[in-house]
A and B are shown apart, each in its own frame.
Chain A
Amino acid sequence: EAAVTQSPRNKVTVTGGNVTLSCRQTNSHNYMYWYRQDTGHGLRLIHYSYGAGNLQIGDVPDGYKATRTTQEDFFLLLELASPSQTSLYFCASSVGTGNAEQFFGPGTRLTVL
């Protein structure tokens, strides 16, 4: 079973702050994803990647950057955090896309004051 870990698990920052969320997967999956989860919206895709150095734009990318440094590591960057980015963030990985099962990490709760 795929192992996906996220850090930190909780983060509080102020408006305009700089935040980096980290994700690591140890099952050699090609695809990695960042989602945000908000009440009434389910999970919405921010960015995804199909390999080191690759980045694809998801459905809600505004205000977020991401970088995939290795096959294992995927980072989400908020360079000027805003209160609207207060959310629960999930990272996931999968072998492929489309029909492939995605394995999710435990989530990072971010609060922007």
Chain B
Amino acid sequence: GDSVTQMQGQVTLSEDDFLFINCTYSTTWYPTLFWYVQYPGEGPQLLLKVTTANNKGISRGFEATYDKGTTSFHLQKASVQESDSAVYYCVLGESSGSWQLIFGSGTQLTVMP
């Protein structure tokens, strides 16, 4: 079945640093890929959605793309701020049955002032 792997459990940066988070996915169909963000004490919320390989999704200074050749997708931001501290989930839209969301295990981003 479809799956998503998110290897970076924790990332610690300083303000104005560059952020790059990477996930890999497995699916037999055309993927729809999402990034959700979860702030402390809240539920996850949609940050970005990407439906076409090599096309960027852009929101709140974050960019996301995916590469069909390497079956990977990425989230990046040129200059992080302390307010970006949160958990970031890569998510695959399941395409071979239930059409549900498959969440990665999450990356805890901590940005030091």
Chain A residues packing against B (C-beta within 8 Å) = 4, 33, 40-45, 48, 56, 58, 90, 92, 97-99, 101-107
Q: Is the CB of B103 within 8 A of A43?
A: yes
Mostly, the B contact residues are loop
Contact B99 A92 (CB under 8 A): no
B6, B9, B43, B95: the one contacting A104 at CB < 8 Å is: B43
Report the minimal beta-carbon distance from A93 to chain B, rounded to whole angstroms.
11
**CA A60 to CA B41, docked complex, whole Å:** 24
**Nearest CB in chain B to that of A1: its residue:** B45
| Contact mask for chain B residues 18-45; partner A; CB cutoff 8 A; 1 contact, 0 none | 0000000000000010000000011111
Interface residue count on the B side (C-beta < 8 Å) = 23
Most buried by A among B41, B43, B89, B101: B43
Asked if B41 and A56 make an inter-chain contact with CB atoms under 8 angstroms apart, the answer reads no
CB distance from A42 to the nearest CB of B (A): 4
B binding-site residues for A, Cβ under 8 Å: 6, 9, 32, 41-46, 49, 51, 89, 93-95, 98-101, 103-106
Q: Which 4 interchain pairs have the tightest Cβ spacing?
A: A104-B43, A42-B103, A98-B99, A97-B99
Contact of A101 among B49, B100, B103 (CB under 8 A): B49
List chain B residues, Cβ under 8 A from A106. Answer: 41-43
Q: Which residues of A contact B45 (CB under 8 A)?
A: 103-104
B29 CB to closest chain A CB (Å) equals 11
A33-B100, A107-B42 known; 16 new pairs, CB 8 Å cut-off, are: A4-B43, A42-B104, A42-B105, A45-B100, A45-B101, A58-B100, A90-B44, A97-B99, A98-B32, A98-B93, A99-B32, A102-B46, A103-B45, A104-B43, A104-B45, A106-B43
Which residues of chain A are near B94, meaning CB under 8 Å? 98
Q: Is the CB of A56 within 8 A of B43?
A: no
> In the complex the two chains form, is A105's CB within 8 Å of B43's CB?
yes
Name which residue of chain A comes closest to B103, CB basis: A42
User: Pick the contact of B43 from A45, A48, A107 — CB < 8 Å?
Assistant: A107
Could you say which of B6, B9, B95 contacts A98, with CB atoms under 8 Å apart? B95
